[in-house]
């Protein structure tokens, strides 16, 4: 009897469990589900103009990011003479910086897609700024490599992908305009650092240039910790089982896979690599070129090497961004066409920089080169985001940046070696011009053959 009672009780328990499971399944298929959708307004408590405050916060952070890099280039001859290094050795420090930066960017992109973009950007600026301050205390090439290349480069690598992605989240309808305005901080940063770092070095010594700029970055990082906010996602009630959206978190190589298998993104990456190679070589060695060829002081050479170039680029990027947005309404591939012509026209001025021209003609070439390089600048991330999935924007940005800076990292040491063997930097400028011409032609070809196809493909899947 006891055994029979146990069997009956077990059957009752089984029925209860089955009935409970059945009701759970029914509830699962009839209860509306929640999916994430980008908020059409700015996040709660920030106001409708907060997206422009975000632009301002990231604008200043990017200015300090670029100024930090230019400090080294401006005081490079003083570091070389103080530590008794060769041009090849000093170029190697810049090369290792760019290689460390390129190696770490994929991790920065993954962090930007997985973690809080506010804290990724904020911690990055604090980290590289502290490393910059300690660079001023370096007493040998090993310490310079560890602090300048490894610590500073590694810290900056986490800033870029999250910075662009966060800006893109807040600015949807105003993205191209916001990206163009944001890019102007690059130009202001290198002009400011080119002059101010040289002035500080002339008055106090090159070490104080790093300490002062690093301290400014720490202060701004604290401001960002209090004012910058992540873009919230509002939850929309979609109803039905089909509304469930489970997105796998991006892996470290997902961005590379998308970029290298999308023709437009791949061509953009190749063009960006040539673009960075030329810019890295230019920014590393042109201040030294003016000091050695024309006897200018560190402050004067730092200012002149960047002022004419980046004032022209400031206006060029705003013009290119405006034209790109207006014409792209009818034909989206015009963005890449503008980039291609920018590289080709900019390259023409590089061929005259190394000639035995007057100083003012060289300044004019600096300005022409800067104006047309901005045509490429204005459309880099707009083109990339046109042809890649939005959930992988940070990862795809990191793939682009990694590849570009891995290639660009070779420029300082290659140009330094050419200078050691030839005795002058003059012969290197035509080489840089040829690189841009090849990349510009590639951009024009791919814009015609692949851009619209890649854009349609990615937008049909959204």
The tens-digit pLDDT sequence of the chain (462 residues) is: 433 443 344 444 445 434 534 443 333 333 333 334 444 443 444 677 888 899 899 999 999 988 888 888 788 778 888 878 777 777 787 778 878 888 888 888 788 778 888 999 999 999 989 989 998 888 777 888 888 777 777 778 888 778 878 887 887 767 767 887 887 888 788 888 888 888 898 889 888 999 999 999 999 999 999 999 887 755 444 444 444 444 566 666 888 899 999 999 999 999 999 999 999 888 888 888 888 888 888 788 878 888 898 889 888 888 887 777 777 777 888 889 999 999 999 999 998 887 667 888 999 999 999 999 989 988 888 889 889 988 888 788 888 988 998 898 888 888 888 877 777 777 788 889 999 999 999 999 999 999 989 988 887 754
Is the distance from CB of 163 to CB of 275 less than 8 angstroms? no
Is the distance from CB of 298 to CB of 74 less than 8 angstroms? yes
The number of C-alpha atoms within 13 Å of 187 and in the hemisphere containing its C-beta is 24
Measuring CA to CA, how many Å separate 383 from each of 266, 280, 380?
A: 11, 22, 6
Measuring CA to CA, how many Å separate 7 from each of 3, 12, 15, 191?
A: 6, 9, 12, 86
H/E element holding 424? none
By the 10 Å C-beta count (0-12 exposed, 13-18 middle, 19+ buried), 1 is classed as: exposed
How many whole angstroms separate alpha carbon 244 and alpha carbon 235?
12
Cα Rg of the chain (Å, integer): 26
**Token pair of 289, please?**
């070129």
Q: Which CATH architecture has domain 46-228+251-460?
A: Up-down Bundle (1.20)
Using DSSP's 3-state secondary structure scheme, residue 237 falls into strand
Using DSSP's 3-state secondary structure scheme, residue 38 falls into strand
Rounded to the nearest angstrom, the gap between the alpha carbon of residue 439 and the centroid of all alpha carbons in its chain is 19
Using the CB atoms, write b or e for 203-220: b if 16+ within 10 Å.
Answer: eeebbebbbbbbebbbeb
Is the distance from CB of 50 to CB of 232 less than 8 angstroms? no
Measuring CA to CA, how many Å separate 421 from each of 92, 233, 257, 428, 433?
A: 16, 57, 40, 11, 20
How many whole angstroms separate alpha carbon 222 and alpha carbon 435?
41
Domain ranges across the chain: 46-228+251-460
Rounded to the nearest angstrom, the gap between the alpha carbon of residue 95 and the centroid of all alpha carbons in its chain is 18
């Amino acid at each position: 009897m006891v055994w029979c009672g146990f069997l009956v009780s077990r059957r009752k328990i089984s029925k209860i469990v089955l009935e409970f499971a059945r009701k759970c399944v029914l509830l699962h298929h009839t209860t509306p589900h929640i999916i994430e959708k980008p908020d059409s307004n700015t996040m709660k408590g920030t106001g409708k103009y907060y997206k422009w405050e975000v632009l301002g916060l990231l604008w200043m952070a990017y200015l300090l990011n670029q100024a930090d890099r230019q400090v080294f280039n401006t005081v490079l001859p003083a570091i070389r003479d103080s530590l008794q290094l060769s041009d090849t050795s000093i170029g190697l420090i810049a090369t290792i910086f760019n290689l460390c930066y390129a190696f770490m960017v994929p991790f920065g992109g993954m962090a930007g897609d997985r973690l809080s973009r506010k804290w990724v950007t904020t911690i990055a600026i604090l980290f590289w700024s502290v490393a910059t301050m300690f660079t001023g205390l370096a007493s040998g090439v090993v310490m310079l490599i560890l602090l300048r290349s490894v610590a500073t480069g590694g810290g900056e690598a986490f800033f870029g992908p999250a910075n662009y992605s966060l800006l893109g989240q807040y600015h949807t309808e105003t993205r191209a305009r916001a990206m163009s305005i944001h890019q102007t901080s690059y130009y202001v940063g290198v002009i400011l650092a080119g002059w101010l770092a040289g002035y500080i070095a002339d008055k106090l010594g090159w070490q104080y240039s790093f300490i002062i700029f690093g301290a400014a970055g720490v202060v701004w990082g604290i401001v960002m910790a209090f004012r910058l906010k992540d873009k919230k996602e509002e939850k929309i009630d979609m109803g039905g089982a089909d509304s469930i959206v489970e997105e796998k978190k991006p892996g470290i190589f997902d961005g590379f896979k998308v970029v290298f298998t999308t023709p437009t993104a791949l061509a953009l990456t190749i063009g960006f690599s040539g673009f960075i190679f030329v810019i890295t070589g230019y920014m590393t060695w042109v201040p030294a070129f003016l000091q050695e060829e024309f006897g200018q002081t560190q402050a004067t050479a730092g200012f002149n090497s960047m002022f004419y170039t980046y004032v022209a680029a400031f206006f060029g990027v705003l013009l290119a961004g405006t034209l790109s947005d207006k014409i792209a309404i009818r034909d989206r591939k015009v963005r890449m066409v503008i980039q291609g012509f920018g590289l080709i026209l900019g390259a023409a001025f590089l061929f005259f920089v190394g000639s035995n021209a007057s100083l003012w003609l060289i300044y004019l070439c600096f300005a022409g080169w800067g104006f047309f390089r901005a045509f490429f600048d204005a459309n880099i991330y707009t083109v990339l985001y046109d042809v890649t999935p939005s959930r992988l924007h940070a990862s795809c940005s990191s793939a682009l940046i990694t590849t570009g800076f891995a290639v660009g990292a070779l420029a300082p040491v290659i140009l330094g070696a050419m200078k050691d063997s030839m005795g002058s930097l003059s012969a290197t400028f035509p080489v840089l011009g040829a690189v841009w011409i090849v990349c510009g032609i590639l951009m024009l070809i791919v814009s015609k053959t692949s851009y619209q196809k890649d854009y349609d493909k990615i937008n049909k899947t959204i």
